[in-house]
Structure 1
């Protein structure tokens, strides 16, 4: 038992430091319209993040040019360089960052959306990320004597964005660069105490040709180079990665569906992680994922996998309790959904916190009286345990669904549905993959400074305000969110129909039109969300729900009965009151009655009830306690309520 406790503590401390994002991907024939979809929640909220959604422009490069490779800063600014367009150029007080090294540049690089990782480029290449555990660990070149490696997953994904139009190209390019120049995880920890449970990475990669691949990568031998593998998602399937590898048996003789580094078998055999002589087929996850010795990690990963699969394919009736263990499969690499999915279905997956299941985070004592589904991380004071880990959580900085369509031109086919802060209270706005910039609201603001007008702060503020009274405020949020989300979906359809009918539009005209319309829509959503935020402030303050100026338009719903019974309320006053003699209390009741002629009926009922209770109790101590409560508290309260009713006609009192 003591060993289990230690495992539990180490697992929860890991999840206080790793990025721990969720990635979901949908094959083209599993979607309603032939789209490939890649979704990602960026949950790296354990330090201030750079909130900017940056558009890196397309560029032409001279022969012999070098492409700098950086170890991005975890805060603001993530990058300061002259190589990635105006948004990353040095501003007042900023210095150009020193690269870890460089690689040969190519003649032309594509434009793309960039935040922590490369997201989507102008030719519809789409990437979503999830940090995973691995058996190896590596550090960047600037980490001292242990730093052998040039590439982290952020820069790998951005090189893929710059150079590739297909998922297969992206996988091969990232894998080759990782092997040649070395891969490190940005969550590898201190070389004196490596963090293996966050030492590897997974990307979901989709393209305009209808392919989706899952790419795993970790550091190779001697804390250098890399090992990687990739599996193509079946066109009719959905997959999810929740901070653990999912690729298992691989047929490397089938490059249409499997790709890997040349050392994928040999390194595992060398380290004793795979023994072919035992007759077992090679299993990438069993060989290379960090072991899962405790239930916290197993459920941290496995419950999200189950949840996604149970929502899209409930007919499978998968068991929610299996967890995720590298040593043996519990859930499949992918599943065929019971029905085809659209963008709206995937955004619903991202907004999930186990609603309607036994693991619903809005239920139970930890949710408090108002059903808050957030569970903070932090110092656990050596208390053994854990919380359920949902897809939508308090530390989600941003999330997206990337839509690529083979049957449409790039500007129309590629859409980044982008939202900020916790997905369960965010609106996903559509940005065309070919547009050259985003609204100022999406590059404005820092986590350390409340910034009015910032898109992130609009959604983060509402998310935080909702925790004042989540059960009530979340209803308003869901209604407003649903309304704006429907308008965003309708607006994108209208944009595409307009372009399709306007045969005279050139490619540049189409791009300009989509950028203008998309940015106006996104700006309008931010403005309306700020207006909505101030309405919530006025409506939900000081425990009241105020909808107007009439007396009956202010209510105080109080606390739910189940919570009152569990709290000190039901035990109060207990032994905290020493009441006066019963005779004195009786005298006070008589004086109340004589002074309150205007409320005779009400007071006589209360007095009669109090007298009957007093006369029915024989024990003197019980008489004193009940008399004190009945005579002083109930009697006085009755007088007060009667007076308040007269003073504020129409006000709904809380009894």
Structure 2
């Protein structure tokens, strides 16, 4: 018999896990994701979006800023599929591989005779059969390190295996759950969305207090609805017997045994049982969920203000006021809370030119800021925008039931920061893509790498954001509109080839368009980068065509905030600086050269 009561055992287990969390450190993706179901879109398209807001190497043991294509393959009987360790599975200190694995391979599973081709980066994104995936990291009460033969799966490899083997979202959910229960799960809590042309499912995952297997629950997103998540579990009540919900076989038994939940507590609330909620500081997660929901359904009058992490004020899904099209879907990650109480383009922190990005500090770190009894009130935390300066890449994938799989699936991939990126189309039937999108590292500047092509523009724009963003938006709109038109033309050509029985020719067409359009976008953005450098160099605004130079200075409010009214405009600087309450007016006056300071002061 166990010498300790269940509740005492849970307290010890919780203490152990808490200590491990504080001692562990690694890079984690702090992502925003959404799903727009066919009934919520203008033309019946399924949209799935993901921002990969992480820093560091991923399961590929490379920097998480490039795309990898895994081709379809046949495998001999008895073959094994290696499962790789993911260094982004722990806490937030960049560069630490963490975990107890003695090598990158944690274990293996039986291989299947045939695996599908798919695109992946930090996480699987889209396969050749229009199965889509998106991910965000969540804070869970229990987060364990990897252990060979005991806990070998993290969400990245779960998404990859699902895309290798599955055609539908439900198949992906069922396979993911089975892999977790059979081979064990390690690392942070995670939310994965799997979507096909017809339906979308959310699966949320965390470690089990038993040290083996894992806890998970999945819920179908109702058609006609939009789902949003951002680093906090979104599934709430687990409903037994509901066909729209699946969960681990031992979910209730394990959580009851370890004191996480009791039937006397009432309904099983997945968020409350397995997590403390917010990921880094208050509103870190919930503000992003609110923002996208509010932008799509303002008629709901959702408030950004909530009582705490466990609020039920933000629904699991919402129906948009207007059906979503591709242009709207591509815009959802371009958000600094403009026009709201949290607008990052305004105020002294944005500087004189509305820079929405903030230098990260200790208060912004993804270290544990709350537990069952306490919450850390940090000084200096900044609002966490949807478009984050530390974004590696983002994408909006579409699956379309009215087109053959190689044509219907399109991954609109955007390197670096979402607000200033250009989404390039990658077809599900394409077997290659522009080389710029497959290379690059944050530690080595490469002007031809897609990441650095876009990151350089964002960083330069921060010098005079309010002006440069207009140039960026103009070119961004032009390029994406051109890509949308190119895709629509290619859709028809490729679908016609497939209808005539020539899928090989269709795939060549889709590959050529994918590669060529990627190359074109990179070239156009490199040209824009040069234009912006010339136009905004040295604090001036220079017309590259005419050579005309403007010296715009600063806005009046900034002169006031910066104390400019006490600048060197009179010779009696000591008297000027000693004058209290002098406001900047922007007005010049003429005075006699021999005027006294008192006479000048009356005029200014």
Taking structure 1 as the reference length, the TM-score comes to 0.78
1:491 aligned counterpart, secondary structure = helix
Q: What's the counterpart of residue 598 of structure 2?
A: 622
User: Cα offset for 1:353?
Assistant: 1.0
Q: What's the counterpart of residue 203 of structure 2?
A: 215
Q: What's the counterpart of residue 163 of structure 1?
A: 165
User: Cα offset for 1:73?
Assistant: 5.1
Q: What's the counterpart of residue 235 of structure 1?
A: 223
Residue of 72, 77, 82 corresponding to 1:58: 72
CA, structure 1 residues 410+291, in 2 after alignment: closer, same or farther (shift >3 Å)? closer
Q: Check whether the contact 1:367–1:374 (CA below 8 A) recurs between aligned residues.
A: yes
Q: Check whether the contact 1:139–1:148 (CA below 8 A) recurs between aligned residues.
A: no
Q: What's the counterpart of residue 175 of structure 1?
A: 177
* Residues 1:410 and 2:426 aligned together: no
Q: What's the counterpart of residue 133 of structure 1?
A: 139
- Aligned residue pairs total 545
* Residues 1:610 and 2:560 aligned together: no
Name the one with the larger helix percent.
1
| Residues in 2 aligned to 1:626 and 1:113: alpha-carbon distance in whole angstroms | 68
Q: What's the counterpart of residue 478 of structure 2?
A: 483
Q: Check whether the contact 1:301–1:324 (CA below 8 A) recurs between aligned residues.
A: no
Q: Check whether the contact 1:324–1:331 (CA below 8 A) recurs between aligned residues.
A: no
- For residues 248-279 of structure 1, what are the alpha-carbon distances to aligned partners after superposition, in whole Å with 9 as ceiling and x for unaligned? 12323122x1000011212222233323224x
- For residues 469-526 of structure 1, what are the alpha-carbon distances to aligned partners after superposition, in whole Å with 9 as ceiling and x for unaligned? 1010011001110111110111100111223445536111111111111211111011
* Residues 1:103 and 2:103 aligned together: no
Unaligned runs of 5+ in 1: 1-10, 79-95, 186-198, 581-605, 631-655
User: Cα offset for 1:330?
Assistant: 2.5
Q: What's the counterpart of residue 264 of structure 2?
A: 277
* Residues 1:289 and 2:275 aligned together: yes
* Residues 1:466 and 2:461 aligned together: yes
* Residues 1:541 and 2:537 aligned together: yes
CA, structure 1 residues 543+13, in 2 after alignment: closer, same or farther (shift >3 Å)? farther
Q: What's the counterpart of residue 192 of structure 2?
A: 203
Q: Check whether the contact 2:55–2:64 (CA below 8 A) recurs between aligned residues.
A: no
Q: What's the counterpart of residue 70 of structure 1?
A: 84
1:205 aligned counterpart, secondary structure = strand
Q: Check whether the contact 2:119–2:127 (CA below 8 A) recurs between aligned residues.
A: yes
Q: What's the counterpart of residue 319 of structure 2?
A: 336
Residue of 506, 511, 530 corresponding to 2:526: 530
Q: Check whether the contact 1:35–1:406 (CA below 8 A) recurs between aligned residues.
A: yes
Q: What's the counterpart of residue 509 of structure 2?
A: 513
Q: Check whether the contact 1:139–1:223 (CA below 8 A) recurs between aligned residues.
A: no
CA, structure 1 residues 243+379, in 2 after alignment: closer, same or farther (shift >3 Å)? closer
- For residues 545-586 of structure 1, what are the alpha-carbon distances to aligned partners after superposition, in whole Å with 9 as ceiling and x for unaligned? 1004756x1001111100100103222249996689xxxxxx
Q: Check whether the contact 1:302–1:324 (CA below 8 A) recurs between aligned residues.
A: no
* Residues 1:363 and 2:377 aligned together: no
* Residues 1:123 and 2:129 aligned together: yes
Q: Check whether the contact 1:137–1:223 (CA below 8 A) recurs between aligned residues.
A: no
User: Cα offset for 1:181?
Assistant: 1.0
1:213 aligned counterpart, secondary structure = strand
Residue of 294, 301, 305 corresponding to 1:317: 301
Q: What's the counterpart of residue 245 of structure 2?
A: 258
Unaligned runs of 5+ in 2: 1-20, 89-93, 365-376, 576-587
Matches within 5 A, 1:354-433: 354-379=337-362, 384-433=379-428
User: Cα offset for 1:235?
Assistant: 0.4
User: Cα offset for 1:281?
Assistant: 1.6
CA, structure 1 residues 14+32, in 2 after alignment: closer, same or farther (shift >3 Å)? farther
CA, structure 1 residues 148+577, in 2 after alignment: closer, same or farther (shift >3 Å)? farther
